[in-house]
Structure 1
Amino acid sequence: MPSGQRETNVSIPLTPTRSDLYWRRIFNKYDKDNDGKISYVELKGIIESREYDHDLPDNVVDKIMGLADRDNSGYLDFPEFVEMMHHPDLKAVFGHFVARYVHSIIPHRNPVDTTGRWPGFNAVSTSDGDGTYEEEYSCWPPAICMIIISLVEIVLFVYDAVHGNTDANGPIAKLFIYNPHRRNEAWRFLTYMLVHVGVVHLLVNLLVQLFLGVPLEMVHRWWRVVLVYLAGVAAGSLATSLTDPKVYLAGASGGVYALIAAHIATIIMNWAEMEFAIIQLLVFLLLAAVDVGTAVYDRYWRHATQNIGYVAHLAGAVAGLLVGIGVLRNLEKRKWEKRLWWAAVVIYFSLMIAGILANIFWTDRFLATTP
C-alpha cells in the first residue's frame, strides 16, 4: 500500500458506478469551496442552512468529525465521506439520515460479496434502481401549491352552496364554468377546473389531486406541477370543445389526469434512479386502464348517457405525459431521454397550437353554439 494512504474496511471499485457518481454528487454539493474536502466549518454551515436542514440533523457535527475523520486532518475527503455514510457504527449517530440513504442506495438484503464491492453497487442488482429519486423528496420548500388550489376550489364551492346551488348553477359556477355558448370568454377554458357538480365530484378530485400532486411537488417543486396541472386543464377543455362542441365542462379532472400521467412521465425519465419503478408504473397504468375500460363499457355495452368528460380525461392525460416529460426533473439525462424530451415538446406544442387555431377559425364547428 502506498505510503500515506489510509487503509479502510470498505473497498471502492476501480470502475465508477452510478452509486459512486451519486455519492460524488452529494459530496460536491457539501464541498462549497470545491477544494475536494469538507471542513468542519462547511459542515456546520450546511446544517445551519435551511436548504439542507432535511439532510443532516443539527446535533451531529462534532460526532461526525470525531468518528469519520480517521486521520484527524480536520476535514473529510471523499473516501472518508463515503465510508461515513455506510459505516454501521455511525447509524446511531445519524439516525434516520443514514438509515434512509443506506436503505435506498444499499439494500439490506444484499450482503457484501466476496469481491469487496458494496451491496447494491454490482452491475446486476435485484433492485429496480439505486434509490436516487426517492432521496429527492423534501419538505422544504413546503409542498402547498396543490393544497392552495384545493382550498380555492372548496371556498368557491362553499360560496355557491351558501347561495343554494351545488350543481354548478351558482354565481361562481356561471362565471367560471366552460360554457360552449360563451366560448369567446377565453378564461373559461381554464377556470372550469374551479367548478364542481356536487360534493362527491369535488371530494374525488380533491383527494386524487392532493395524493398525486403533493408528492410531485416534493421532488419537482410547485411551478413544474402547476404547469402540468394547467396544461391538463387547458387540453381537456380544448379537446372537449372540438369533439363535443355543445357540452358544458366543469371540474378539475383534466388536471387530475395530467398529474396521473405526470407520474408515468417521471417514472420513464427516472427509471434507473427509482427503487421500485416497475411497480409504480404498473399502478398508474392500471388506473388509466380502469378509466378507459369503464368509458368503453358504458358507451358501447351499457349505452349509458353520462355527464363524465372522458375526452377531457384523455386529453388531460396526454398533456400531463408530454408536459411531464418536458418540465419535470430528470435526475440523470441520457441520450435517448434527450430525444424523448424534444419529441414530447414538439408534439405538445403542435397539438396545443392546432387545438387553439381550430377553436378560433373552425367556425362551422361551433355555429350551433354561438350565443
Structure 2
Amino acid sequence: MDRSSLLQLIQEQQLDPENTGFIGADTFAGLVHSHELPLDPAKLDMLVALAQSNERGQVCYQELVDLVSATISSKRSSSFKRAIANGQRSLPREGLLDEPGLGVYKRFVRYVAYEILPCEVDRRWYFYRHRSCPPPVFMASVTLTQIIVFLCYGARLNKWVLQTYHPEYMKSPLVYHPGHRARAWRFLTYMFMHVGLEQLGFNALLQLMIGVPLEMVHGLLRISLLYLAGVLAGSLTVSITDMRAPVVGGSGGVYALCSAHLANVVMNWAGMRCPYKLLRMVLALVCMSSEVGRAVWLRFSPPLPSSGPQPSFMAHLAGAVVGVSMGLTILRSYEERLQDQCGWWVVLLAYGTFLLFAIFWNIFAYDLLGAHIPPPP
C-alpha cells in the first residue's frame, strides 16, 4: 500500500469529509480490519500513541503515511520510520511519553526527549528504548576534569579570577600559546584551562544543561566528536586570525554544542515541545553574546606589565560555526547513520580542508609573514 493508494482509500471512505487532514484513530483501526490491509500491529500501536498525544484523539495524514507507506519516497526517511514501515521495531502501548506515575529518572528521560527531539515518533521511540547504561560519561568527565584542573591552579597560584594575568599561569603545559604550537596536544588540552570562575561556571553550566541531554539522545561518539571538533577548530582559528594570542577554556566546544542545539530548535520550531521556547532562545543568545563580549574586552584591554596578550575570543566564533554546520547535521539525523547522508560528507570534507589549511599555515605562515609573537613562557 503506497501513499497514493492509502490517501485514495481514505478519500473514498469519506473519513475526512471536511478535508481537515486528520482522522480518528478508532475510525482508521476499523478501516484496517474491514479492508484487511497488510498493516503490521506495531504500526497500529504507534498510530494509537500519536492519536493519544492529540487532544482530539486524531491521526494526522502525514504521520499516517510516514508509518504505513511501504514505498520509500525520494526524500530520505529516518531509519526508525523505515524500520517501523518494515515491521522491524515494535513500540508497545505502555511505553508512552504521557504515561502517568513515572519515576524521577523516567520523567527526566521524557524531559530530555521533549527538549532535544522535534519529531513525535522519534521522541516516543527514544523514551521506549532508552537505557541508563551507558550513562553520559563524556560531558560529565570533561566538566569534572575542568573543575579539578581549575581548583589545582587556583590553589597553587592563590588566584581565582583573571588567572591569565599571573606570570606562572601561561607556563602550564595545557595552555595553547603561539610560541608552543609545535606541541600539538596544546591545540586540544587548552580546553581544561579557564581564565577564572566566571568562564568556568558558564562553560560547566552549559555543558551539563545542554551537553548531557544531547549525549543521552545522540550518544557519546557523536557528541564527543562535535565537542572536540569545536575545540580544535577554535585553537586553529586563533592561530590563523589572531597569531599573537594564546587560548584557554572550552568555549569552542561549548559553543559548538549550543549553536547546534539552537539551530536545531529554530529549524524544527513547530515540532519542538520544550516550554517557553522563545524566552529560552533569547536568554541563551544574550548569555552567549555576553560571554563573547567579555572575551573581546579581555583580549583588547591593556594587560598588566608582567603579562602578554590575553586569550583570543575567536575560539567562540569558530565553535559556533562548527555547531551550525557539523552539529546541525549530527542532530538532525537521530537514529540514522551519518555515513548514509550526503550532507555529512560535504561537511566533513569542508572541515578536513580547513584542518589541512590550518596545519600548513602553522608550519609555514608564521615565518613567511614574519609574525612577531610574544616569547613563550
The normalised TM-score by structure 1 is: 0.60
Checking the alignment, whether the CA contact within 8 Å between 1:178 and 1:189 is kept in structure 2 is yes
Checking the alignment, whether the CA contact within 8 Å between 2:242 and 2:312 is kept in structure 1 is no
1:327 matched to 2:320? The reply is: no
Q: Aligned with 2:194: secondary structure?
A: coil
Which among 188, 210, 213 is matched to residue 212 of structure 1?
Answer: 210
Shift of 1:324: 0.9
Q: Report matched runs for 1:1-371 at 5 Å.
A: 17-18=62-63, 21=66, 130-135=119-124, 136=126, 138=130, 139-164=132-157, 166=159, 167-168=163-164, 174-267=172-265, 274-275=272-273, 279=278, 284-285=284-285, 287=287, 307=310, 309-328=312-331, 330-331=333-334, 340-362=343-365, 363-365=367-369, 367-369=371-373
Checking the alignment, whether the CA contact within 8 Å between 1:189 and 1:237 is kept in structure 2 is yes
| Residues 57-82 of structure 1, C-alpha deviations (whole Å, 9 max, x = no match) | xxxxxxxxxxxxxxxxxxxxx9xx66
CA shift in 2, pair 1:35/1:145, >3 Å: closer
* Counterparts of 1:27 and 1:236, CA distance in 2: 37
Q: Give the structure 2 partner of residue 67 of structure 1.
A: none
* Counterparts of 2:293 and 2:59, CA distance in 1: 51
Shift of 1:364: 2.5
Q: Aligned with 2:134: secondary structure?
A: coil
* Counterparts of 1:198 and 1:224, CA distance in 2: 29
* Counterparts of 1:260 and 1:276, CA distance in 2: 16
* Counterparts of 1:2 and 1:181, CA distance in 2: 73
Q: Aligned with 2:207: secondary structure?
A: helix
* Counterparts of 1:198 and 1:165, CA distance in 2: 12
Q: Aligned with 1:163: secondary structure?
A: helix
Shift of 1:318: 0.8
Paired AA for residue 142 in structure 1 = P
Checking the alignment, whether the CA contact within 8 Å between 1:266 and 1:325 is kept in structure 2 is yes
Deviates more, 1:303-312 or 1:349-358: 303-312
Paired AA for residue 327 in structure 2 = G
Paired AA for residue 131 in structure 1 = E
Checking the alignment, whether the CA contact within 8 Å between 1:228 and 1:259 is kept in structure 2 is yes
How many residue pairs end up in the alignment?
291
Q: Aligned with 1:175: secondary structure?
A: coil
Q: Give the structure 2 partner of residue 69 of structure 1.
A: none
Shift of 1:165: 5.0
Q: Aligned with 1:240: secondary structure?
A: helix
Identical counterparts, % of pairs:
32
Unaligned stretches of 5+ residues in structure 2: 1-29, 37-43, 52-56, 70-78, 304-309
* Counterparts of 2:224 and 2:83, CA distance in 1: 28
* Counterparts of 2:322 and 2:273, CA distance in 1: 26
Shift of 1:189: 0.8
Checking the alignment, whether the CA contact within 8 Å between 1:270 and 1:332 is kept in structure 2 is no
| Residues 113-152 of structure 1, C-alpha deviations (whole Å, 9 max, x = no match) | xxxxxxxxxxxxxxx9653454436444322211111111
Shift of 1:4: 7.3
* Counterparts of 2:357 and 2:58, CA distance in 1: 53
CA shift in 2, pair 1:209/1:22, >3 Å: farther
Checking the alignment, whether the CA contact within 8 Å between 1:192 and 1:252 is kept in structure 2 is yes
Unaligned stretches of 5+ residues in structure 1: 39-77, 106-127
Checking the alignment, whether the CA contact within 8 Å between 2:247 and 2:311 is kept in structure 1 is no
CA shift in 2, pair 1:179/1:131, >3 Å: same
Checking the alignment, whether the CA contact within 8 Å between 2:326 and 2:344 is kept in structure 1 is no
Shift of 1:161: 3.0
Shift of 1:313: 0.6
* Counterparts of 1:95 and 1:185, CA distance in 2: 49
CA shift in 2, pair 1:365/1:257, >3 Å: farther
Paired AA for residue 326 in structure 2 = V
Shift of 1:343: 4.1
Q: Aligned with 1:251: secondary structure?
A: coil
Checking the alignment, whether the CA contact within 8 Å between 2:292 and 2:316 is kept in structure 1 is no
Shift of 1:316: 1.2
Q: Aligned with 2:147: secondary structure?
A: helix
Shift of 1:310: 2.2
* Counterparts of 1:202 and 1:93, CA distance in 2: 38
Checking the alignment, whether the CA contact within 8 Å between 1:266 and 1:328 is kept in structure 2 is yes
* Counterparts of 2:153 and 2:103, CA distance in 1: 50
Checking the alignment, whether the CA contact within 8 Å between 2:237 and 2:315 is kept in structure 1 is yes
Shift of 1:327: 3.4
* Counterparts of 1:282 and 1:23, CA distance in 2: 39
CA RMSD of aligned residues (A): 4.8
| Residues 317-356 of structure 1, C-alpha deviations (whole Å, 9 max, x = no match) | 11222221343451488xxx95644443333233232222
| Residues 248-293 of structure 1, C-alpha deviations (whole Å, 9 max, x = no match) | 2111111111111121344367667533597476665555555567
